[in-house]
Amino acid sequence: MNEQGAYGSRLGEAFRMRNPPVLKTRSLRKAQLAVTALRCDSPGFGMTTPIPREDAFLVGLQTRDCANHELWIDGKPVAVRPIVAGETMLYDLKHDPIAYLGSPFQPLFFYLPRAALDAVADDCGAPRIEDLHYQPGMPIDDPTIKALGALLRPALDQPERVNAVFADHVMLALCAHVAQTYGRMLPRARTTRGSLAPWQERRAKEILSANLDGNVSLAALARECGLSLSYFTRAFRQSTGVPPHRWLLRHRVKKANDLLQNSTMSLTDIAMACGFADQSHFTRVFTAASGRSPGATRRMQRT
Separation CA 277–CA 83 (nearest Å): 36
Q: What is the pLDDT of residues 14-51, one digit of tens each?
A: 999 999 999 988 666 567 899 999 999 999 999 999 99
Instruction: Output the pLDDT for position 189.
Output: 52
Q: Average the pLDDT over 124-144 and give the result.
A: 92
| Residue 52 CB-half CA count within 13 A | 11
Q: Average the pLDDT over 58-74 and give the result.
A: 97
Separation CA 103–CA 100 (nearest Å): 9
Instruction: Output the pLDDT for position 133.
Output: 96
For 230, counting Cβ atoms within 10 Å of its Cβ (0-12 exposed, 13-18 middle, 19+ buried), the class is buried
Q: What is the pLDDT of residues 77-101, one digit of tens each?
A: 999 999 999 999 999 999 999 999 9
The answer regarding whether domain 247-302 maps to CATH 1.10.10.60 reads yes
Confidence check: pLDDT of 190 > 60: no
Confidence check: pLDDT of 277 > 90: no
Residue 1 pLDDT grade (very low, low, confident, very high; cuts 50, 70, 90): very low
Domain ranges of the chain: 8-181, 198-241, 247-302
Instruction: Output the pLDDT for position 125.
Output: 75
Cβ neighbours, 10 Å, residue 143: 9
Percentage of residues of the chain with pLDDT beyond 90: 65
Instruction: Output the pLDDT for position 188.
Output: 61
Cβ neighbours, 10 Å, residue 77: 12
CB burial string 37-65: b at 16+ within 10 A, e below: bbebeeeebeebeebeeeebbbbbbbbee
**Angle at which helices 164-181 and 143-157 cross, to 10°:** 160
**Do residues 172 and 229 make contact, with C-beta atoms less than 8 angstroms apart?**
yes
Instruction: Output the pLDDT for position 272.
Output: 92
Instruction: Output the pLDDT for position 193.
Output: 57
CA 50 to chain centre: 25
Instruction: Output the pLDDT for position 31.
Output: 79
Closest residue by Cα to residue 208 from 166, 238, 241: 166
Instruction: Output the pLDDT for position 2.
Output: 45
Q: What is the pLDDT of residues 108-117, one digit of tens each?
A: 999 999 999 9
Instruction: Output the pLDDT for position 168.
Output: 85
The pTM (predicted TM-score) of the whole model is 0.73
CA angle 25, 31, 32 (to 5 degrees): 40
CATH fold group of domain 8-181: Jelly Rolls (2.60.120)
- Mean per-residue pLDDT over the chain, rounded: 90
**What sections of the chain are H helices per DSSP?**
8-14, 114-123, 143-157, 164-181, 198-210, 218-224, 229-240, 244-262, 267-273, 279-290, 294-302
Separation CA 243–CA 236 (nearest Å): 7
Q: Average the pLDDT over 257-281 and give the result.
A: 91
Query: Residue 61 pairs with which residues in a beta bridge?
Result: 88, 108
Confidence check: pLDDT of 244 > 80: yes
Instruction: Output the pLDDT for position 120.
Output: 86
Instruction: Output the pLDDT for position 303.
Output: 65
Closest residue by Cα to residue 146 from 60, 82, 68, 69: 60
